[in-house]
Amino acid sequence: MDKVDIKPNEVAVYALGGLGEIGKNTYGIEYQDEIIIVDAGIKFPEDSLLGIDYVIPDYSYLVENIDKVKGLVITHGHEDHIGAIAYFLQAVNVPVYAGPLAMALIRNKLEEKQMLNRVELHEITDGSVVDFGKTSAEFFRTTHSIPDVFGIAIKTPVGTIVETGDFKFDLTPTTKQKPNLWSMARIGEEGVLLLMSDSTNAERPEWTKSEAWVQKTVDKLFKQLKHGRIIFATFASNMNRIKMATDAAIANGRKIAVFGRSMESAITNGRALGYLDIPEDALIEQSQIKNIPDDELLIMSTGSQGESMAALARIANGTHKQVRLKPKDNVIFSSSPIPGNTASVNAVINKLEEGGANVIHGKLNNIHTSGHGGQEEQKLMLSLMKPKYFMPVHGEFRMLKVHAGLAEELDIPKENTFIQENGDVLAFDGVNEPRLAGHFPAEDTYIDGSGIGDIGSVVLHDRLKLSQDGLVIVTATIDLKKKEILSGPDILSRGFVYMRESGDLINDGRHVIFNTIRKVMSQKTPSESDIRQAIIDDLSKYLHKETARKPMILPMLIMV
């Protein structure tokens, strides 16, 4: 690990994830023997990460400093902020502080991992202050696409560090939880040393539309769509959209059936917390949908991001056990594809259209608005907080750069803005200019099934190669002492060529391997590894010459 040198009179700020990327938000504020962590998010894998479920940060630095870590404070309940919490707490088991909805979602995650009884959980609300000793955390309400969203002001002897979390300034939120402008202005007046602010929509020169604008569209659609079922797909964590759809269904006399485990959990939590007003008789069991007329039914579904195993994709593919697509179905996508998901979302839409459904999606239909503020809201946050220093977070590099430019427009000197990378440690003493106090490894950790971090670049390279050109297995039995080939060589193709139609290629390949083995065994002291490598080299050249493809070659030799 690179040396990290934080002096006793300094407060240090760093990211384990969330800089130069969308997702994996995890930030640290460190003063002397206290480290406060903000959020524990995941990142969804890109197309090249074959078989990877999701990506989390490397927690090695925190594990090495585990005695200093005093708590995990949560801004809100989206996956890119709480999705890795079970893995985080397995590495660093510290008290967790979160709002009501985020806490309900966290409890669900910990219960699934059988960790609930081993973790200390504390529910907070707007204005809550958590004292850690030398530092404290104050929560102030913001707005996003989910209830119970907070920015967090970490107060240290050196100065106040503010992490906004995801935010926009929605003055007509469907949850009635308005942003606490007074608290933001007060914190700004008291003095902010560093502002760490959401950069997701930094490239959009706009004020993001309110959720109330989407609600009008949803209400209008439910009144217009009088014939056929309505299948409403959105993020299970987007309580605002769930409320819009269920309220509109009830107002138009539709029963509600829920599909997808995360959607079921969201509606259970939303009703328990009072965010959803759904009478018991409005909800029906999945098995009852066949007894309800199509024009009296709303199906709430997961899968708005085209996930192959989610309810909506299985409905589109005809593999869902309870729901069969009908020509008069109306499918509403109330979300936009996150980076990397556009192709899978389009594939599901195409399947639904092919099945005769009326699919409503995209910006033109006014059924989605971002949960992140545009440039005007980012400038308002900067103006309210009036920070001495600024560090854009939550975004890819180009977004961070644009956000830094907005700060400069608001008279924050360019030299006072820092575009950092994950693992960079920025230290402040409150008197002198901030300095880079070292760097610690902050590479991605891949989650594949139950495996944590056991999939590296070599495995991913192999998976990519297999997905593109397939696999060729070579078998042979060899007597190394007598330098004889006892059986084979034989070739087996998987995902490379159809063997019944490629007899000449396979036979010629066998001859290449036979000659290769004979050539290696003519040496004085041939070894098994020499034969394996020669087979890979020679067969690869031959197959590439004949097919312009390079399958993975796996020699399976029996040595006697």
Q: Is 371 annotated as a binding residue?
A: yes
Residue 395, φ and ψ in degrees, nearest 5:
175, 160
What's the CA gap between 416 and 410, in Å, rounded?
A: 12
What's the CA gap between 246 and 69, in Å, rounded?
A: 42
Q: Is 403 annotated as a binding residue?
A: no
Structure tokens at 185: 């202005």
What is the H or E stretch that residue 318 is in? none
Q: Which of the 8 DSSP states describes residue 123?
A: E
What is the H or E stretch that residue 354 is in? helix 342-354
Residue 331, φ and ψ in degrees, nearest 5:
-110, 120
What's the CA gap between 13 and 196, in Å, rounded?
A: 10
Residue type, 369: T
- Per the DSSP assignment, residues forming a β-bridge with 140 are 151
Q: Is 320 annotated as a binding residue?
A: no
- Of 559, 463, 468, 480, give the one whose Cα is nearest residue 518: 480
What's the CA gap between 234 and 360, in Å, rounded?
A: 12
Q: Is 368 annotated as a binding residue?
A: yes
- The three-class DSSP label of residue 90 is helix
- Of 385, 24, 433, give the one whose Cα is nearest residue 195: 385
What's the CA gap between 236 and 267, in Å, rounded?
A: 8
- Cβ distance 298 to 290 under 8 Å? no
- Of 312, 299, 373, 391, give the one whose Cα is nearest residue 344: 312
What's the chain's length in residues? 560
Q: Is 544 annotated as a binding residue?
A: no
- Per the DSSP assignment, residues forming a β-bridge with 123 are 98
What's the CA gap between 378 and 197, in Å, rounded?
A: 8
- The three-class DSSP label of residue 440 is coil
Q: Check residue 169 and give left, alpha or beta (phi > 0: left; psi -120 to 50: alpha).
A: beta
What is the H or E stretch that residue 112 is in? helix 100-112
- Cβ distance 164 to 195 under 8 Å? yes
Question: Residues at the annotated binding site?
Answer: 368-372
Show binding-site residues for substrate: 368-372
